[in-house]
Structure 1
C-alpha cells in the first residue's frame, strides 16, 4: 500500500525591514516542515502574490503607516491580496504593521495613535482571547515587545483578543484563520541589536526609552517570550483549516 506524501507547508512572509523577520516563528514553522519564502517590500513584486498561493501568508512589521499608499504604492497591492484572503478565510497572520494592514484590508480605519508604545510590557487577554492561542501570552506568563505609534479600529465582525494600557486593540481574529497582533511575539534576543540600530532615530524620539533599557529588557524577557510565543503559534496552526499536516 503506497502512502501519498504530504506536501510541505508553503509559507510566504512579507518583510518590510530586513531585521524584522519571523524570529521565533521561523523555528516553529521549520519544525513543522514548512518551506518559507521571504518577499521584501520595495524589492520584490508583491503584486505577484496570488491570494490562494501560500498555505500561510505572514505580513511582518515595519516603520511605515498602513495608510501611506501615496508614499508606498505597493501597499495597495498588499491590501488587495489581504482583502481576498480575508474574504476566503485563508490562513493569514499579521504582526504590528501586518496587523494594521489586515485591519485596513477588512475595512477598518488605521491612524496615528498619538502616543508611541515602545518597549517591553504586558498585554491583557480578553475573555475570548483566553479561549484562543493568545492565552499563552497572558500577563502572568510573559512580557511582549511593543513597538508602534499607530493604532486601528476593530474590523467589523472581528473578535478582540488582547489589549494594553496604552491601546485597547492589540490582537484580533477574523473568521477561523486570520489573526492580527499589534505587538511583537516573534522577537528573539539573538540579533536584537539590529532593532536598536535600525530604529535608532525612533528610540531617540521616545523619552521614556533608551538603548540600554531596551537591551536589558530583552535580556530579561525574550527567552520566556520565545517559549510562550512558540506555544501560541503551534496552537494557532493546529487550529487552522486546510493546512497540510505537519511532517
Structure 2
C-alpha cells in the first residue's frame, strides 16, 4: 500500500524505541508518513505542540512501568495529557497504546510475549474501515484496564483491551502493529520468535489505519 502524504498538515512521528537493533518498526511507521517530522523522544527531542496538527506514538521494547530508570516515559505521559487537552489528533501504536492509557489512569501489565498474526474483534468505527480482523500482534505487555474516558474498540482472545478511543478527544490507540508486513517477518522471527499460524500476511490490511488517521488529521487541520 502506498505511503501516506500528510502535507499540508504538520504531523510528528514520535519514535520510542530504546534498542537500536529494533528501530526498524519505527522506520516502518515513519515510512507511512514521508512528510512527517520524526522526533526521537528517547534521545530527548520533543514536539513543538503549537505547530502540531497530528501525532503518532510508535512502539518500543521499553515498558511504560520503567519510568524510574527511563524518565522520558513520564515526559511522554505528560505529552499524552497535553495532546488530549489540546485536542490534537493522536494515534498510539503498541507502546503508544499503552502509554496513552497509562497516562490517563489505566493499567499496563506484563502478560507474556505474543508474536504472531491474530484475529481481532474490531468495532464499527472509522479507524477500522476496510481493515480485516487479522492483524500483527507483537507485545509482552498489555493494557488490562483502559484509561479514563477511553473506550475499548478492539479486542482479541489474548488481550481484552486491544484498541481504544477517547470519548471526546481525537485519540485512538491500537495494541497491534499496522506497520508490520511480511517484509519484516525474518527480523521478527530472529528478534522476537515470531510464530507461524494458519493466517497469512495476505489476510492483513491493518495499514489502512494510517490512511484513516491521516484523513482525521487533515479534516482537523485549519
Specify if TM > 0.5.
Answer: yes
Q: Are residues 1:72 and 2:70 paired?
A: yes
Aligned to 1:3: none
- Correspondent of 1:124 among 107, 121, 125: 121
Could you give the per-residue CA deviations for residues 8-48 of structure 1, whole angstroms, max 9, x where no partner exists? 5332332314112252x545433xxx23324152xx214x3
Q: Are residues 1:144 and 2:135 paired?
A: yes
Question: Superposition pairs for residues 55-204 of structure 1, below 5 Å?
Answer: 55-113=53-111, 115-125=112-122, 129-139=123-133, 143-152=134-143, 153-174=145-166, 175-199=168-192, 203=193
Deviation at 1:100, TM superposition (A): 0.2
SS in 2 for 1:20: helix
**Which structure is higher in strand share?**
2
Q: Do the aligned partners of 2:30 and 2:36 also contact (CA within 8 Å) in 1?
A: no
Aligned to 2:221: 243
Deviation at 1:154, TM superposition (A): 1.3
* Aligned residues between the structures: 209
Cα distance, 1:236–1:37 mapped onto 2, change above 3 Å: closer
Partner Cα distance (1:96, 1:177) in 2: 17
Deviation at 1:62, TM superposition (A): 1.6
Could you give the per-residue CA deviations for residues 178-204 of structure 1, whole angstroms, max 9, x where no partner exists? 1110011111222443333333xxx3x
Could you give the per-residue CA deviations for residues 118-172 of structure 1, whole angstroms, max 9, x where no partner exists? 21111012xxx21322243343xxx211111222211222121110011110001
Could you give the per-residue CA deviations for residues 93-136 of structure 1, whole angstroms, max 9, x where no partner exists? 111111000001112121223x43221111012xxx21322243
Q: Do the aligned partners of 2:132 and 2:203 also contact (CA within 8 Å) in 1?
A: no
Deviation at 1:76, TM superposition (A): 1.2
Max Rg structure: 1
Long gaps (5+) in structure 2: 1-6
Cα distance, 1:15–1:232 mapped onto 2, change above 3 Å: same
Long gaps (5+) in structure 1: 1-5, 204-208
Deviation at 1:49, TM superposition (A): 2.6
Partner Cα distance (2:190, 2:210) in 1: 28
Aligned to 2:23: 18
Partner Cα distance (2:90, 2:102) in 1: 14
Partner Cα distance (1:74, 1:66) in 2: 10
Cα distance, 1:8–1:121 mapped onto 2, change above 3 Å: same
Q: Do the aligned partners of 1:124 and 1:138 also contact (CA within 8 Å) in 2?
A: no
